[in-house]
Structure 1
Amino acid sequence: MIEEKADLTVKAEKVATWEGEDVFQYVLDNGVMQVELTNYGGIIARIITPDKDGKHDNVVLALEEIPDYFTKNGPYLGAAVGRYANRIGTGSFELDGESFHLTKNNGENTLHGGSKGFGVKVWTPEVYKSDNAVGVKMTYLSVDGEEGFPGNLMTTLWMELTSDNKLKLRFESTTDKKTVVNLTNHSYFNLSGIKEDVRSHELQIFAEAITPTGPGQIPTGELLEVSGTPFDFTTPKKLGAQMDALGEGFDHNYVTKRENSTELKKIAVVKHPKSGRTMAVYSTAPGVQLYTANHVRDFAGADGKIYQPHWALCLEPEAWPDSPNKLNFPSASLAPGEQYVHEIVYEFGIEK
């Protein structure tokens, strides 16, 4: 555990205007670690944490300045993604017998909500502070038909840093027409302080199955038990060794629950032995996508660093991919009068 006295502060600074809306940079500080956010895309821009020797480093892939995210964030670094995180096959689905056709931005499929998803929108922000947390509350109205999705979807996102080194996210959405919704954060973590790739990271995922995929990385509809396969992270494993066994990087959805529930469950633990940094991930969602930045190549990031494949890992808690087209998957639909809620917690620590 990181044991220092917390002193909670939040700083806000207007840094740009985008599409007529004010864009702010926020710095949440608890006296031990700092989190930099922006209301553009609900993006986590930096997470600065100490290692076992007290040295502070940023542990997420980042761009140099907030305005850089307007045009250079192809990999969705740190973004809030929606309306539907991950993929929807053929860019279409049916609800109650009505067909909906979405923007196709990933071959024949829709990825992370289409060509202009939540991660490129300016959210309406409000700073808040409590006895044990500082944060920013952001709201965004996705209008009926945006990227092809039905319903006016009102979403509120709380992003807060607590006195005990937890970064908590909470998405809440309501709609006036039946729709589908699946929201998450797309941070790329590297607990070394981005000094090396993530092959030396130790990873544990509390899931006994994945949703295997076919062409276009669309789930087949089956479940594959991970026991005896390179996908098995039920006990801590070196990420590099599992990647070697698989023969490639990971981009797979792990089944953390078999059905929807409100339980906030510990779904993963990441450790970087050399620095001593640790991160536990909790979520209420039924799945988590493990992605090892396979397609990030020669990418100019912050602090003069050039990011390459496998220089980060994403753990994206979410509904299962293509759930709107898989009746046997936990439902991702939302009806008027219902509320979508997804909580995510990233808990940072040190193991000496």
Structure 2
Amino acid sequence: MNQVITRKEIASNLERPLMQYTVNNGNGYAFTCLNYGATLTSIMMPDRNGIIDNILLGFNGPTDFLNDQTYFFGKAIGRVGGRIKGGLFHYKNQEFLLPRNEGDNTLHGGVNGFHHMWWDVSETEKGLTFTKVINPEMDGFPGKLEVTITYRWGENNQFHVEFYAINKSDTPTLFNPTTHIYFNLNNDKLKGLNNHKLSISAEQLLELDQQQIPTGEFINVTNTPFDFRKEQNLSEMLHSLKQLNISGYDHPYHVTGPKAARLSNLNNGRIVEIQSDRNGLVFYSLNKTHPHIKVNEGNHLFPHMAVALEPQTLPDANHHPDFGDIVLPANTEKKYEITYKLSVI
């Protein structure tokens, strides 16, 4: 594998120069990212006809990523992905308040989460490493957190994302990071999710209240439009949801096994298989959009133009012990990995 890393400055009149990095694995696959938000702006891969195109959806202009607090296109999400009820957590009889940015709740690490930070970037033999020391004054979470995010190519065109954190303080904190990349495997992004099939390795999803907060109950997917245990046509499943007056998917699935999901394109043969060491996958079908937003190649954004598949420990786990443990106690460390296996048939 003859990997090549290139970088260029794309904006300079900012807090820091906005840098764009591209890592080409030499096999027709490449990813591009920014030092702001550890943002993935593209993953290039061929289709069965040899056409190489970006399979991610994102803003048309790189600087548009800077102040976005709505779509999180391609962003690294942390310290905690998803929603935290009441913007607080308890640990050993202590209560810790968190930054609230969605009513009384905390979403995707708050306004100043991973997605809204400048990261130091170093080039490695296999890819890129983003590092940041995050203090409570920076993001509103307790504890001093040393974070490393790595994007790299592996064997057989596997794209790896690795999150690593050390709590360098005497105060507990939370750590449940994820990625917020949106997939559209069509060469023509205006086709939205047409031609897409999806499977999710989950027999259950979480029941949500009207604020999209988990109630603590699990729902069996059998005989519902939420059943993706077998590969399903995404356009047809979205139509089934609309018959129930549901605008689209924004649901946490309780996944079983390392293979979380498989997204494929019937027309061009592209496949993305997602593996993780987490018990949850949030499936979001980009249900609400603003038409003035421009994405890839200047196209106007519209609902269901792409799908986000976010591996993580089940959201709001700090309030539900059976969801998993996302507390990072004082002076401890944690590592998570997500693998995207890219292939063409």
TM-score normalized by the length of structure 1: 0.91
Question: Quick check: 1:218 aligned with 2:217?
Answer: no
Please name the residue that 2:271 is paired with: 278
Query: Cα RMSD over matched residues?
Result: 1.7
Matched, 1:153 2:145: yes
- Partner Cα distance (2:68, 2:175) in 1: 26
Correspondences of 1:83-232 after superposition (within 5 Å): 83-129=79-125, 134-175=126-167, 176=169, 177-193=171-187, 194-232=189-227
Following the alignment from structure 1 to structure 2, what is the Cα–Cα distance between the partners of residues 161 and 102? 35
Partner Cα distance (1:340, 1:25) in 2? 28
Match of 1:13 in 2: 8
Structure 2 partner of 1:55: 51
Tell me the CA shift for residue 72 of structure 1: 4.3
1:215 partner SS: coil
Among 28, 37, 47, the alignment partner of 1:41 is 37
2:255 corresponding residue in structure 1: 256
2:289 equivalent in structure 1? 296
**Alpha-carbon distance change, 77 to 206 in structure 1, aligned in 2, over 3 angstroms:** same
Q: What is residue 327 of structure 2 aligned with on the other side?
A: 333
Q: Give the Cα–Cα distance (whole angstroms) in 2 for the partners of residues 342 and 327 of structure 1.
A: 19
2:186–2:265 contact (8 Å) kept in structure 1 = yes
Report the Cα distance in structure 2 between the residues aligned to 1:150 and 1:70, rounded to whole angstroms: 25
Match of 1:244 in 2: 239
**CA apart distance, 1:18:** 7.2
Question: Is the Cα–Cα contact under 8 Å of residues 199 and 241 in structure 1 kept in the other structure?
Answer: no
Shift of 1:147: 3.6
Query: For structure 1, which segment, 14-23 or 189-198, has the greater mean C-alpha deviation from structure 2 after superposition?
Result: 14-23
- Pair 121,291 (structure 1): closer, same or farther in 2 beyond 3 Å: same
Does the 8 A contact of 1:95 with 1:179 survive in 2? no
1:312 aligns with 2:306: yes
Q: Which amino acid aligns with 1:37?
A: C
When residues 326 and 163 of structure 1 are mapped into structure 2, their CA distance, relative to the original with a 3 A threshold, is closer
Tell me, what secondary structure is at the counterpart of 1:21?
coil
1:71 CA drift (Å)? 2.7
- Cα gap change, 1:336/1:96 in structure 2, threshold over 3 Å: closer, same or farther? same
Output the amino acid matched with 2:276.
S
Give how far 1:286 is off.
1.2
SS of corresponding position for 2:236: helix
- Is 1:140–1:154's contact at 8 Å kept on the other side of the alignment? yes
Aligned residue pairs: how many? Answer: 336
Q: Which segment is superposed worse, 226-235 or 242-251?
A: 242-251
- Deviation track 1:277-323 (CA, whole Å, cap 9, x = no partner) reads 11000111110100001122312113111111100001100111111
Quote the Cα distance in structure 2 between the aligned partners of 1:33 and 1:195.
Answer: 22
Aligned-residue identity in percent: 30
CA distance in 2, matches of 1:20, 1:284: 35
- Residues 80 and 74 of structure 1: is their aligned pair in 2 closer, same or farther, counting only changes over 3 Å? same
* Pairing partner for 2:317 from 323, 346, 349: 323
C-alpha contact (below 8 Å) 1:251/1:290 kept by paired residues: yes
TM-score (normalised: structure 2) = 0.93
Amino acid at match of 2:321: L
- Structure 1, unaligned runs of 5 or more: 1-5, 258-262
After alignment, is 237-246 or 268-277 more displaced? 237-246
Unaligned runs of 5+ in 2: none
CA drift of 1:142 comes to 1.4
What secondary structure does 1:241 align onto? helix
> 1:334-349, aligned counterparts within 5 Å?
334-349=328-343
Task: Check whether the contact 1:8–1:163 (CA below 8 A) recurs between aligned residues.
Answer: no
Which residue of structure 1 lines up, in the alignment, with residue 66 of structure 2? 70
Off by >4 Å, runs of 4+ in structure 1: none
User: Given that residues 199 and 310 in structure 1 are in contact (C-alpha distance below 8 angstroms), is that contact kept between their aligned partners in structure 2?
Assistant: no
How big is the shift at 1:24?
A: 1.6
